[in-house]
Structure 1
Amino acid sequence: MRDLKAMRRKRNLMSIEGLAFKAFQAEAFLVALSPTAATIAMLISFLLWLICWKMDDDVHFRHFSFDKPLLVFVIISGLSVLVSPDKAFSFYNYYNLVGAYAITYIVAGQLVRTEERLRSILEAFAVSAAIVVLYGFYQFIFGIDISAMKWVDGNAFPELSKRIFSTWENPNILAGYLNEVICMVFAFFVTLEDKKAKWMTAGMILCLVACLAMTYARGACLAIAVVIGLYGLVKDRRILAGLFGVGFLMLLIDPMLAERLSSVFTQTDTSSEMRLALWESSVDMICDHPILGIGWGAYWMVYPEYDFYINDATVRIVHAHNMYLNYAVEVGVFGAAAFLWYFFGTMIQAFWKAPNSDNSSMLVGAFRLGIGLALLSVAFGGLTDDVLFNIPTSMLLWMLCGLGAAAREITPQKV
């Protein structure tokens, strides 16, 4: 009788664990489409996994290489709330955002333990990305006037009145997301041996690149070109020819894109000038608050004290437009160092055994290569922007990092 009850209990716990994974899969699908729905799915997944972890002796918490710097970052970020000009706001912002990021990382690392589950997550990502791209094309074809929005200097680019943002908040955030997806698909393109599959992934990359071009996000376009170019230099020079070919075609089709990209190297528009001014002000903030920073999420509150460029109290600047400076400003140099240790450590680890390693299957190897390239694109993109201030973008990053850690532990399935 006891054995029957134990079997029934075990079966119920396995069902709960399966539901937890389904909820996590829903989060992976929804993160690019509906942040609120993705957050709900995340909480359901975490609560169900927590039940299994507490009640099932066979469910053990897995520790990964960069859990410690991640924990240091979470603790220092929490302590930074104590020095914020508005502690209530920073605490609310901290436990909502950092809590969501940490939970997403934990659930990804604990629930994805097999190649089959990793494949299911990739399928959810793929369907979601397809919806984002299709909606982006819809916006571009049927028109979306952004002349009244502050995404581009109308004086410097008077002819640019259309920048897509699809399901994301603005074109720059969409571009950061597309870069990560391009990196993931590109990793499968260079890993797959089947010619038909290669052509399919090549078509996907072209659609993603076209959608990226429609954002006219200068930093993101240059960042993905550098990432793919570096891969070509290190691994396969033929990739460079493809990169130049696609780039030349895009610029030929849309001269405005060429004008936007060339403006990166000048200060002819207020967007470039503003970034330089923000960075100078951010450095001053770091020098004045090096230990715990100015407080989590407090950039918009403190910036007016260091503003020498905009001089308009009604303009709200929420981040430094540089990932590295923004973390150092808000949580101090030690908090920023902990995050970068976790971030770059995860990236290097993803590259360490990419894709032809004897210890990984093609799927796992390609996925890990994609994680490494995606994080590299974030690293380059972070030089000119900080898309991680956006909640779903950060959730996606921490999800990828958790999946990258989990993928390292997956062994090939025997046929």
Structure 2
Amino acid sequence: MNLVWQRFTLSYFRVQDYFATSYIHRALVGLLSSWRQSSILLQWGDTIAAALLSLIYLLAPFVSTTLLGLLLVACFGFWLLLTLSDDGTSTNSSSFTPIHLLVLAYWAIAAIATAFSPVKKAALNDLVTLTLYLLLFALCARVLRSSRLRSWLIVLYLHVSLIVSVYGLRQWFFGADALATWVDPTSPLSKTTRVYSYLGNPNLLAGYLIPAVVFSLVAIVAWQSWYKKALGLTALIVNSACLVLTFSRGGWIGLVVSILTVMALLIYWWSVQMPPFWRTWSLPIILGGLIGVLVLAVIFIEPVRLRVFSIFADRQDSSNNFRRNVWDAVFEMIRDRPILGIGPGHNAFNKIYPLYQRPRYSALSAYSILLEIAVETGFIGLGCFLWLLVVTFNTGYMQLRRLRQLGNREGLWLIGAIASMVGMLAHGTVDTVWFRPEVNSLWWLVVAIIASYWTPLSQNQSLDRSSASPEAAAN
């Protein structure tokens, strides 16, 4: 059974075998290697790539999607240049991981879905967009192999999130006009301010801040100076407060799930140093404390109580009723095209959904990332995406275990990436802000962080042999 799991999760994936049989790799990689050796500019290739990525994560909350699209095109061009100029005879075996292989498979399924789409032109436009995001992942995974550049991008994101959250808190104190009908006008919360900061939508802001809260919490542990720890604590308080004040129920679910995940992983990280009592009871104590805080908030804070109870109001809540009607139409769309779907992207969705929609319930998406993927690429695409998640989480766990054995504190940022993914998925079960550029770029960043830690099997085997030594056993 263990062998089946290892094969399913590609734990024994050998990149050398893949490259040896790949005609595309042999034909393209290294095509410009001789030019790179004489190019002063490309000697700083990864640094320049990090600068391009920095522009994306610096500007994402503040600029239009058009500008972000141009930056993604620039990232694609530079990734292509770096790949073509790599040394094809001595490819870094850690640059292509099992996660890359599943991302490539998902793109191939999306391309096939586009070819069979009933609205090919609309699907093709969004296939281009999907391709740019997947290549953003490829560039991030390449650059983030450097711990220095990895830390730089995480710190940059945390500082930008602070700016976004501070403006969101200002909206709470001084008021902000709702730009859409986010709250049922008949609800007692109709006069409550839902902050949205620079992103224009409270649900989108919540999705953007989930990784910020997680990485802020991890930063308190990972950063060693008290000054930096104070900065991490400030970011944690400000980002958490702003996320809560979005009154996004999906965002709250993602926040709770991500915090539980990061605490569980931190306990796992420290478990080898813990006394037996705390090794057994620390997680239940933390879980009980968090539940206690949530219960007290529900009891004593009326807006929180009303918003939480609305989750269980089914169709009595207008937002729940809206989603239920959209989901009913989406299930019919999946039923009619279950294999490959209608093609990727919201443009294809907007052309097909009106044929199924209930009267007065127009929608731009399926309001669930799993349903959206099933609609766009069918059960084949959904299966590949779920496989990608399994492989990504398994890779993250394997590398976290390796780094814990080595006592390498870089593993703490890996914990942040895993917990961020879990929180974003939890939010995405009831919303589709995951597909918006501000959030989607963060999703592929955290996936790339996990991929950047991957090491080939031979190194893991060496680690296993060394851990079996008497000195390792004594520890």
User: 1:194–1:252: structure 2 CA closer, same or farther, 3 Å change rule?
Assistant: farther
Letter in 2 for 1:126: L
User: 1:286–1:195: structure 2 CA closer, same or farther, 3 Å change rule?
Assistant: same
**Deviation at residue 166 of structure 1 after TM alignment:** 1.4
Aligned to 1:181: 212
Confirm whether residue 47 of structure 1 aligns to residue 47 of structure 2: no
User: 1:191–1:57: structure 2 CA closer, same or farther, 3 Å change rule?
Assistant: closer
Aligned to 1:376: 422
Aligned to 1:27: 56
Among 363, 377, 388, the alignment partner of 1:331 is 377
Alpha carbons 1:27, 1:37 under 8 Å: kept: no
**Deviation at residue 289 of structure 1 after TM alignment:** 0.7
Output the CA distance in 1 between the equivalents of 2:67 and 2:81.
Answer: 21
Counterparts of residues 14-413 of structure 1 (less than 5 Å): 14-34=43-63, 35-57=65-87, 60=91, 62-95=95-128, 97-146=129-178, 149-189=180-220, 198=229, 200-229=231-260, 232=263, 235=267, 236-237=282-283, 238-240=285-287, 243-244=290-291, 247=294, 254-267=301-314, 268-297=316-345, 298-308=348-358, 311-312=359-360, 316-354=362-400, 357-359=404-406, 361-362=408-409, 364-409=410-455
Alpha carbons 2:117, 2:343 under 8 Å: kept: yes
User: 1:281–1:46: structure 2 CA closer, same or farther, 3 Å change rule?
Assistant: closer
**Deviation at residue 385 of structure 1 after TM alignment:** 1.3
Gaps of at least 5 residues in structure 2 are 1-33, 268-281, 460-475
What is the number of equivalent residue pairs in this alignment? 400
Letter in 2 for 1:154: P
Residues 72-121 of structure 1 show CA distances to partners (whole Å, capped at 9, x for unaligned) of 211111222234343212211221x2122111011111222221111111
Alpha carbons 2:158, 2:235 under 8 Å: kept: no
Output the CA distance in 1 between the equivalents of 2:35 and 2:109.
Answer: 43
Residues 204-225 of structure 1 show CA distances to partners (whole Å, capped at 9, x for unaligned) of 2221111011110012202321
Output the CA distance in 2 between the equivalents of 1:398 and 1:232.
Answer: 23
Output the CA distance in 1 between the equivalents of 2:302 and 2:439.
Answer: 29
Letter in 2 for 1:283: F
Percentage identity across aligned positions? 24
Alpha carbons 1:21, 1:45 under 8 Å: kept: no
Alpha carbons 1:136, 1:166 under 8 Å: kept: yes
User: 1:354–1:8: structure 2 CA closer, same or farther, 3 Å change rule?
Assistant: closer
Instruction: Name whichever of 236-245 and 382-391 sits farther off.
Output: 236-245
Alpha carbons 1:145, 1:161 under 8 Å: kept: no
Output the CA distance in 1 between the equivalents of 2:82 and 2:145.
Answer: 15
Larger Rg, first or second structure (1 or 2) = 2
Local SS of the residue matching 2:195? coil
Instruction: Name whichever of 327-336 and 340-349 sits farther off.
Output: 340-349
**Deviation at residue 66 of structure 1 after TM alignment:** 1.8
Letter in 1 for 2:139: V
Alpha carbons 2:208, 2:438 under 8 Å: kept: no
Output the CA distance in 2 between the equivalents of 1:286 and 1:36.
Answer: 31
User: 1:337–1:376: structure 2 CA closer, same or farther, 3 Å change rule?
Assistant: same
RMSD between superposed Cα atoms in Å: 3.0
Residues 7-62 of structure 1 show CA distances to partners (whole Å, capped at 9, x for unaligned) of 98254421344322221222232233334444433433443343343335388462
Residues 182-206 of structure 1 show CA distances to partners (whole Å, capped at 9, x for unaligned) of 1222233455676765554333222
Instruction: Name whichever of 160-169 and 397-406 sits farther off.
Output: 160-169
Output the CA distance in 2 between the equivalents of 1:197 and 1:12.
Answer: 34
Letter in 2 for 1:150: T
Normalising to structure 2: TM-score of the pair?
Answer: 0.76
User: 1:242–1:211: structure 2 CA closer, same or farther, 3 Å change rule?
Assistant: farther
Output the CA distance in 2 between the equivalents of 1:241 and 1:382.
Answer: 25
Output the CA distance in 1 between the equivalents of 2:227 and 2:287.
Answer: 22
**Deviation at residue 159 of structure 1 after TM alignment:** 3.5
Instruction: Name whichever of 286-295 and 43-52 sits farther off.
Output: 43-52
Local SS of the residue matching 1:182? helix
Output the CA distance in 1 between the equivalents of 2:226 and 2:39.
Answer: 45
Residues 314-342 of structure 1 show CA distances to partners (whole Å, capped at 9, x for unaligned) of x5311111111110011101011112221
Letter in 2 for 1:101: Y
**Deviation at residue 365 of structure 1 after TM alignment:** 0.7
Local SS of the residue matching 2:365? coil
